[in-house]
């Protein structure tokens, strides 16, 4: 067999075709994985933003409660019951 033998050329083309198919399959899988990771990252960012807003609201409520407790006048409270 020589390098110009048609059977050698065909085998070489088949090998290259197989490699090309394998690379295209890997590329397709990687593109799919990247899309899934991108979606997951976007969801995680939205969840983080929701948690940040929730924490802000909770901190505001806590501050209001502290102010309400600190501003109450002990003299205006009824005396405790004596036993």
Position 35 in a domain = yes
How high is the pLDDT of residue 70? Answer: 85
How high is the pLDDT of residue 4? Answer: 62
How high is the pLDDT of residue 59? Answer: 98
Q: What is the pLDDT of residues 51-66, one digit of tens each?
A: 999 999 999 999 999 9
Position 39 in a domain = yes
Position 74 in a domain = no
Q: What angle do CA 19, 22, 27 make, to 5 degrees?
A: 125
Q: Number of structural domains, the chain? A: 1
Q: What range does the domain containing 47 cover?
A: 7-67
How high is the pLDDT of residue 27? Answer: 99
CA dihedral for 67, 68, 73, 77, sign (positive or negative)? negative
CA dihedral for 54, 56, 58, 61, sign (positive or negative)? negative
Position 77 in a domain = no
pTM of the predicted model over 0.75? no
Position 82 in a domain = no
Position 83 in a domain = no
Give me the residues of the chain with pLDDT under 50, please. 1
């Amino acid at each position: 067999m020589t390098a110009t033998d048609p059977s050698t050329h065909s085998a070489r083309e088949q090998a290259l075709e197989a490699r090309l198919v394998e690379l295209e399959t890997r590329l397709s899988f990687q593109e799919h994985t990247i899309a899934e990771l991108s979606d997951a990252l976007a969801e995680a960012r939205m969840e983080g933003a929701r948690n940040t807003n929730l924490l802000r609201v909770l901190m505001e409520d806590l501050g209001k409660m502290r102010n309400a407790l600190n501003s109450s006048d002990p003299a205006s409270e009824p005396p405790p019951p004596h036993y």
